[in-house]
Amino acid sequence: GQQLNQSPQSMFIQEGEDVSMNCTSSSIFNTWLWYKQDPGEGPVLLIALYKAGELTSNGRLTAQFGITRKDSFLNISASIPSDVGIYFCAGQLSGNQFYFGTGTSLTVIP
């Protein structure tokens, strides 16, 4: 399967700080998605990106579809305790085949 490299693997930040994470691939994707997984739950879609260069926001979250179509970035501004969880990127090649990154575990220290 496709390999999506997500970094960093984990982050420990103070409440109020901004967060940046990214996802890279050797393949060109048509769609990039970002999910958040709360403990004990399934991933929930945060942001979907459909065009190279696209920048999309969802509240304090902003994600970008890389120009090369091989990467994507997620930023969280002014983090709060409920931002804790695992963040996954997912890329779509064709049809409904989505490939997931290995996840970034975020801990927010109050």
Partner 1 sequence: EAQVTQNPRYLITVTGKKLTVTCSQNMNHEYMSWYRQDPGLGLRQIYYSMNVEVTDKGDVPEGYKVSRKEKRNFPLILESPSPNQTSLYFCASSRGRSNYGYTFGSGTRLTVV
Q: Which two tokens stand for residue 75?
A: 């930023």
Using the minimum distance from each CB to partner 1, give the nearer residue, 8 or 15: 8
- CB 65 within 8 Å of CB 49: yes
Q: How many CB atoms lie within 10 A of CB 88?
A: 21
Task: Give the span between the Cα atoms of 88 and 106, in whole angstroms.
Answer: 11
Would you give the binding string for partner 1 spanning residues 47-66, x where CB under 8 A is met?
A: -x-x----------------
Would you give the binding string for partner 1 spanning residues 3-42, x where CB under 8 A is met?
A: -x-x-----------------------xx-x-x----xxx
Residue type, 33: L
Site residues (vs partner 1, CB under 8 A): 1, 4, 6, 30-31, 33, 35, 40-45, 48, 50, 88, 90, 92, 95-103
